[in-house]
Structure 1
């Protein structure tokens, strides 16, 4: 396996720029996820790493080798597509072994390699079955087997679970991560599903309009979003925003919203003034009758051990995650209190974080 480095890569299609100056490094053996909405540039980036698209500018290195303009066949990578791309006239064994057959490997070696990959994926009992009669999860395992059997430098996966139902998708999320751990592969995985990304990734790059808005570990991105887009895209429900006019400066410890002084986390920028947004995750909100920041309950969604309570405030709607046994009534006026160490503050105009939540036991600038 190998490290992948993407250096200032840009891709344009005529006047439209799909990827704008992306730079990041995927460590050897890392499970790396590119996350973002449809059309954000994540699949185009993956295709450039694979050699299926050539960048307009920039550089791509695989294991220290410059492969920017190498064809896909010369890059020693394996690609898993969303729609499996299996050969319906071949059985499972033939599908998995086909890349080795194309390389001219002797039949005995192909059989051994296919048997090993099938055992790893727990589909050895299906080797003589037709792929057309398999369930979606098993067909995805066959597609993975066809990649694994080659032992490439890196696995590239473009929304491979997108066509599966919820039960199969949850199962395959666990199995993909376990498979990654067993074989120590360098894996680049594209998805629009934040739950898949958070469950599997060592590192995540969140993309929007062709730009990587944030790159880091799942906890860091969730707890310390660099932009309002990242804060809104990750989380279910996403981060709440209370918008207000104000200013912050170095050394300022709190902002005043609706008569309530709300303590702030550390400073990320020197100062900002204008329209601001205070960001808070639903799990970092509690009801407090003594709080001057108040709102009216307009709905509740029960989720077993917790409930999501929706509150309308003068600065926008808020969703709080509370214990299921907390009694709330529609129309009730409640006070809202926030955990200050878990707040973020954003400049509404740029969307960038001015101050950001603290990670447990650490301070980051």
Structure 2
């Protein structure tokens, strides 16, 4: 398969800048997810990799070859859309084999390739069926079969599970990842669903307003978000933020929240007095009667084995993931303990994470 390099790629439509100098490398055989909200530029970026849009600036390399100006037909890339785009007058076999027929493959080779793809996707029993009568999940498998049948250098998928219900989506997430591993593919996958991204990706690029906010493994992005946007976009529920007014010096290991010193990872640079945000994931919050950091319970959401409890403090709301058996009353005053080595600190004005011991692995930015 192929390595894909995107180098300072930009795309403007008139005066609107859809993509603003995006750079990343997708390794051979990697499952790379571009994640972000609607309108962030992720689909435009994918379409430029595919050759369906030409960049306004920058370069795109496929296996070391500059393909920036090449049309989609010359890039040896397969595209899977959210809407299946199948041919309703053809059966499953004809739909999957269509790309090979267009390239004048021999009939025997087409038959062999189609049946191999169908076996991989577990739809070999449907080959003679018309696509119109298939379920959404099976139609998506047919669309995938048409993409993989000619074994391209890379697969580009634009929210391919978006039209499926939630149960089918979860099932297809696992199947897509398993398929990717079996055929040793290079896959670029677009989604706005962070649970999909976390479940499937080797690496994730989080986009916002035409720019890449952060690139990393799912674990890196979850544990060490480089900005408040990433921290808020990733996680269910997302990271909570406590507003703090303080000055910081290199080497500080605590910050004062509502008059209470809170331990945190060592900061790596001086910061003049200003507004900061202390970020904490729900699983790193616990109740501690003796704690001086206090708040009032304003809600609890039961999730089976756990519950998400929302606490309002003088510096903002905090969500805590607690065992479901823990008795919680709305309105009660509680003490909060925050796990020190898992706290992120952000500049409240820029939204960027401050370099600290949490980011010492080089994943910040």
Please indicate the TM-score interval, normalised by the length of the shorter structure.
Answer: over 0.9
The answer to whether 1:207 aligns with 2:207 is yes
1:135 aligned partner: 135
Number of residue equivalences: 363
Asked whether the equivalents of residues 283 and 320 of structure 1 are also in contact (C-alpha less than 8 Å), the reply is: yes
TM-score calculated relative to the size of structure 2:
0.98
2:309 aligned partner: 309
**CA distance in 2 between partners of 1:92 and 1:48 (Å):** 29
**CA distance in 2 between partners of 1:238 and 1:171 (Å):** 24
Deviations 1:228-252 (A, max 9, x none): 0000000000000001211212011
1:229 aligned partner: 229
**CA distance in 2 between partners of 1:334 and 1:283 (Å):** 16
Aligned-residue offset at 1:144: 0.2
The answer to whether 1:50 aligns with 2:67 is no
Aligned-residue offset at 1:356: 5.2
Deviations 1:260-319 (A, max 9, x none): 111121325442531110000000000011111110001101111100001111111111
- Could you say what secondary structure the match of 2:354 adopts? strand
Asked whether the equivalents of residues 268 and 353 of structure 1 are also in contact (C-alpha less than 8 Å), the reply is: no
TM-score calculated relative to the size of structure 1:
0.98
Structure 2: runs of 5 or more not aligned: none
- Matches for 1:1-365 after TM superposition, within 5 Å: 1-355=1-355, 358=358, 363-364=361-362
Aligned-residue offset at 1:259: 2.0
**CA distance in 2 between partners of 1:363 and 1:31 (Å):** 22
- The 1:109–1:363 alpha-carbon spacing in structure 2 relative to 1, beyond 3 Å, is closer
**CA distance in 2 between partners of 1:78 and 1:196 (Å):** 21
Asked whether the equivalents of residues 258 and 292 of structure 1 are also in contact (C-alpha less than 8 Å), the reply is: no
- The 4+ residue runs of structure 1 with deviation greater than 6 A are none
Tell which deviates more after alignment, 350-359 or 9-18: 350-359
